[in-house]
Chains A and B, each alone.
Chain A
Amino acid sequence: MTPFGSAAVRQDVIPLPRLDPDPGSVAYVDTETTGLGGGAGTYVFAAAVATPIDCGLRVAQFFLPEPGMESAFLHALREELERAESLATFNGGSFDLPVLRTRWVMARMPGELSHAAHVDLLTLVRALYRHRLETCTLRFVEERVLGYERDDPLPSALVPEAYFDYLRAGSLDFLEAALEHNRLDVISLVHLHSRLLRRLQGADVDMDADDWLALGRHRWRRGARADGWRALRNATAFAQGEASATAGLLITRRLVRRGSIAGADQLLNWLESGAREDMRVSLARARLLEWHRRDPEQALMVVEDAQRRMPDAAGDLEHRRTRLLRKVELGGGDRLGRRRKRRQRDVREVQLEAPILDGTA
């Protein structure tokens, strides 16, 4: 019962295997709506909220029996959500939550969710698994990441129609299937979250270079530099392949930015031994020689060598080659001031130098 009349709610506690790691007090939310475009005329007609509790997983489902009863529905849903410390959704950042906010405005209810945190699992999936997935629909993620195929009687695209059928003709044929679909979705989110946390901690087994690279980039973007660094290093530990080269180059670039030219040198040596046919590696070497070692002659040799080995890409290097040629003719182009600057950098280099290539997982 709500101040707006009674709301249609049902709940259930289902067994939940111990989650490792345990995400803590999170409410998982999934909504079913009457359209995918958003806007004031898109209604939320069903919502499922899953909350892990001591004895299992509590799944509460809210249903809008007719549009005129929206206030009661929204009130009940909000009370449920307010109990949790944080929220987790799948694409909620750009869909479920804005749609809910719109509904609260339409119902003239205070609409801001005051949770400390919201985790959008879709964002995480995209960051960590994009390279493995052709699409990031929840169904596909379940299949490829969680490893199970759901026997869903109703594809997502038909869910709004199931509700309209019910509204127009009172037909329950597909409505029950739509609600079950909603329930299964939210349960999946709980498992998916745990799985994603494990991946974030780098504790997943069988991660390959691509996985580590994705993880490293993600952590780095989120400001967890040390973790990002570690993950990228782990990616480079895989002997061959584009991903490990990419990770190596990212590290090289960061080493150079920190002034650790010697470290970058060392890493490039290693990359060159593994990925000779990777133009990006030659380019990084040429850049290092030209701008940081101030050695246009060597840089020119690297460029010309790369052009010989990779004739397809030779054109892209031509501009650089011309410039280097000019520099060599001008006699190195190294002026005193720059030399002094470089010497200063060398000092810092010693301080920051750290073993890079050991300690991989």
Chain B
Amino acid sequence: MSGLPRFDSADFPGDITLDHVIPAATAEFAQLPTDLRPELVAALGRRGIERLYSHQAEAYDAVKRGRHLVVVTPTASGKTLCYNLPVLQRLLERPEKRALYVYPTKALAQDQLAELGALKSGLPIDLRVDTYDGDTPPGRRTAIREGGHIVMTNPDMLHTGLLPHHTRWRRLFSSLEFVVIDELHTYRGLFGSQVANVIRRLKRICAFYGSHPTFICASATIRNPRELATRLLEEQDIALVDRSGAPRGERRLVFYNPPLLNRDLGVRRSSMLEARRIAAPWIRAGVQTIVFCRSRLAVEVMLSYLRQDLDPRLDSSRRVRGYRAGYLPLHRREIEAGLRSGDITGVVSTNALELGIDIGSLQCAVLVGYPGTIASTWQQLGRAGRRSGSVGVFVASSSPLDQFIVRHPEYFLGTDPEEGLIDPDNLLLLAAHLQAGLFELPFMEDERLGAADVQELLQLFEEDGSATRSAGRWFWSRQAFPAEEVHLRRILADNVVIIDTSQPRPSVIGEMDQFTAPVLLHEEAVYLHEGAQYHVDRLDWDEKKAYVRPVSVDYYTDALASVTVRVLDTFAGPDGDGVTRSHGEVKITSLASMFKKIRFHTHENIGAGPIHLPEQTLHTTGYWITVEGGLWQSLGAETLEAGLQGMAHSLRHVASLRLMCDPRDLGAVAEVRSVTTQLPTVTVFEMYPGGVGFAPRLYELHRELLADAAELVRDCPCAAGCPSCVGPLHLVEGAKEACLKLLEAGDGSAARDSVAQVRELLGAAEQRS
């Protein structure tokens, strides 16, 4: 391992739970396609490209044969050429044709603009490539609409800018030959379901102008790229290219769990400080290193640590840089260039650098905390990918998810990266996009929106006055501009905005859905945001604003909300012995009535207060588990409740892992006696009204979830339950034991042989990375 930067486990007091070397791989090349235009061959030659990697050639062939395509290859494997090559070839053949590139962020579009600009500058004809987003100056917009060969935009702009004004884009839509969707894996869950509907509308507009574009998607590794693309595009014949021909240096992967400080509370040494100790020596030695943090604040803190650790004679503020959303584009470009040229030795970033922005390959990557999904973890680790060898270290925090992952590296290596799940037919989303689609083009009386039958909805619109039927078609009949009422990335329209008032200019630090806010943002609550404590001074419920200021106190608040679940409709289940599973439509009612202040460490109750906020209800879909009498009658009522709470807590976390969603997209409730089932019941439900398709998937994953949750609890080093494993009622005697008993009863299998599994699975990981 002489080629790799040094990392010695003896230097660190915590546990190394994974230390694995993925061997180098040599490149698989393919000749340039024979039909490639000579001017394109020459332009590639000027950039030093004489031949292609095998996956690039495969992609070219698939598109040439007119197939839709998904390309799934690792970071820095030349993915963009997979779509740029066939697109440029076509535009050289037929310059009147057009292509639309969709990137999830503006920054990414900017980056790709520069990249493509370098390639096309070698071409003899003048191809116009532009970004079109909120930053595009009005003066340039007309020219782009009329003359842009390749227009690079984002889903939000497509949704509110291009589609509702499609007549101005007639030139583009009537000659649209390709739609490129990069970073496909970002379009999952709620956002993906929204974008799927935007694509339905896009295809409708294209059909109006007589074009039928080929879709080319590129994705980071996820389990089901073709399935996700099939749902997102609603196309059947999608080719998949997932064998990378790009060469790879040797890579060492290390999982590091900082040592325990307090066993009861499951508190470990700070992942920030441990990461600092890992990264600083590398940066000092001139080894290019990237540190990924979970929040903007953490980026700034880590940045100051690493600068302090550098020799003061070196220009530390120039050598170590931060990178996150909120920096100006020019500033970001400069940092990217500095990384490529090697002038910058260290960079601290949020997940902003996880997407395909070109910074070249670094030698070391340190992940402070689990990025939330396996796919993101691979993306971030992939930033270290020098041909000469690289090291990636994941440093776990104390959170349940981090602890689960760090203690189960086989999960990380073995489980295929998460699935991208979407449900474009969620009624709320469908209705919103149907309105937008109706604004864009009248609907025929037998027309669908994509695969969805929308006639019933259209009749509803007619009843409420949004639609008028005339001459066999439906027309939009309101003054409103419907696309502007739907934000693709926001979970709920009425989120509570959290405002930090301590600065001269109050700033928004986050938002929370209306359903959860009464529990965590009531007045006098101590709200934890990115590891810092904030006191809620005022909650303006009507305006949906919570005013907070940072504090440092020795207690936390715990609000008691009585949550009840009513099953409205059961779609499947109950099935199973002893522990049953079901899924269906549920109504969740939550009323927060009081809160307690609880001192850290001693857990004494040092005060309480009332909460005066209205009851919240949520109609959604959920998955629930009931426990039969024989299993719990021996437990006392209190222990049973604690055990169920532990189940709910652990299930929610492992479920978010399996579904590749944010833990906040799910809620979980434990009831000792449910009004519907009359039994002890744990319900995991979706936080988005109506659900986006998670519940049926959880029902299918039932056994795996119980097994994962049991492992999370079992393997936790705490003695009798801690906040990391069983959650809020961890102080009840026997909580951990009861929780495990219930989980194992459902799982039925004993603990799996983890070691054997790791060995078996490491092979799979090698192939994938």
Contacts and interface: CB of A to CB of B under 8 A. Distances in A.
A40 B477 contact: no
Contact of B472 (A34, A38, A68): A68
Contact of A39 (B468, B470, B477, B481): B481
A239 B211 CA distance: 67
Nearest to A40: B440
Contact of A167 (B165, B170, B477, B479): B477
Most buried by B among A34, A38, A40, A101: A40
A68 B473 contact: yes
B485 to A, nearest CB: 12
A101 B167 contact: yes
Contacts of B168: 102
Contact of B167 (A34, A105, A167): A105
A68 B167 contact: no
Interface string A29-41: 0000011111111
Contacts of A43: 475
B439 interface: yes
Given A101-B167, A105-B170, A37 B468 contact: no
Interface string B13-53: 00000000000000000000000000000000000000000
A5 B438 CA distance: 24
B438 A41 contact: yes
Majority secondary structure of chain A interface residues (helix, strand, loop or mixed): helix
Nearest to B438: A41
B471 interface: yes
Contact of A67 (B166, B170, B475, B478): B475
Given A34-B479, A41-B440, A164-B465, A68 B166 contact: no
A325 to B, nearest CB: 38
B164 A41 contact: yes
A173 B478 CA distance: 19
Given A35-B480, A39-B439, A167-B477, A67 B470 contact: yes
A160 B479 contact: yes
A69 interface: yes
Tell which of B170, B441, B470 has the most Cβ of chain A within 10 Å.
B470
A133 interface: no
B442 interface: yes
Contact of B475 (A37, A68, A105): A68
A37 B481 contact: yes
A69 B369 CA distance: 61
A140 to B, nearest CB: 22
A106 interface: yes
Given A160-B479, A168-B468, A106 B167 contact: yes
A314 B682 CA distance: 75
Contact of B165 (A35, A38, A168): A38
Interface string B446-476: 0000000000000000000100101111011
A35 B479 CA distance: 4
Nearest to B439: A41
A66 B471 contact: yes
Nearest to B165: A39
A227 interface: no
A203 B482 CA distance: 49
Interface in B161-188: 164-168, 170
B471 A168 contact: no
Contacts of B482: 41
Contacts of A66: 468, 470-471
Contacts, number: 66
A161 interface: yes
Nearest to B163: A40
Contacts of A68: 470-473, 475
Contacts of B481: 35, 37, 39, 41
B464 to A, nearest CB: 10
Contacts of B166: 40
Nearest to A68: B471
B465 A168 contact: yes
Q: Using C-beta atoms within 8 Å of the partner chain, give the interface range for chain B.
A: 20 to 34
A66 B479 CA distance: 16
**Which of B441, B478, B479 has most chain A Cβ within 10 Å?**
B479
A164 B466 CA distance: 9
Given A40-B164, A41-B439, A161 B472 contact: no
Contact of A40 (B165, B472, B480): B165
Contacts of A106: 167, 441
A88 B327 CA distance: 48
Nearest to B480: A35
A159 to B, nearest CB: 10
A24 B476 CA distance: 40
A43 B468 CA distance: 13
A124 to B, nearest CB: 22
B478 A102 contact: no
Contacts of A105: 167, 170
A41 B475 CA distance: 8
Interface in A56-108: 66-69, 101-102, 105-106
A167 B166 CA distance: 25
B477 A168 contact: yes
A35 B480 CA distance: 7
B333 to A, nearest CB: 34
Nearest to B483: A39
Nearest to B469: A68
Pick the most buried of A36, A38, A68, A161: most chain B CB atoms within 10 A of its CB: A68
A141 B481 CA distance: 29
Select the residue from A36, A161, A164 with max chain B CB neighbours within 10 A. A164
Contacts of B475: 43, 67-68
Given A101-B167, A160-B479, A40 B468 contact: no
Contacts of A167: 468, 477
Interface in A147-190: 160-161, 164, 167-168
Nearest to B160: A39
A30 B170 CA distance: 25
A63 to B, nearest CB: 14
B477 A164 contact: yes
A41 B473 CA distance: 14
A161 to B, nearest CB: 7
Could you say which of A35, A37, A38, A41 has the most chain B C-beta atoms within 10 Å of its C-beta?
A: A41
Given A67-B442, A68-B472, A69-B470, A39 B164 contact: yes
Given A66-B471, A164-B477, A164-B478, A40 B170 contact: no
Contacts of B471: 66-69
B316 to A, nearest CB: 38
Interface in B118-175: 164-168, 170
B167 A102 contact: yes
A46 to B, nearest CB: 15
Contacts of B473: 67-68
Interface string B213-245: 000000000000000000000000000000000
Contact of A36 (B167, B465, B476, B479): B479
A43 B165 CA distance: 13
B398 to A, nearest CB: 50
Interface string B425-455: 0000000000000111110000000000000
A292 B215 CA distance: 65
A100 B535 CA distance: 55
A43 B438 CA distance: 12
Contacts of B468: 66-67, 167-168
B167 A40 contact: yes
14 contacts: A37-B481, A39-B165, A40-B166, A41-B440, A41-B482, A43-B475, A66-B468, A66-B470, A67-B470, A68-B475, A105-B170, A160-B479, A164-B477, A164-B479
9 interchain residue pairs of minimum CB distance: A68-B471, A41-B439, A68-B470, A67-B475, A105-B167, A66-B470, A102-B167, A41-B476, A39-B164
Given A35-B481, A106-B167, A167-B468, 6 more contacts: A40-B440, A41-B164, A41-B440, A67-B442, A68-B475, A105-B170
Interface of B: 164-168, 170, 438-442, 465, 468, 470-473, 475-482
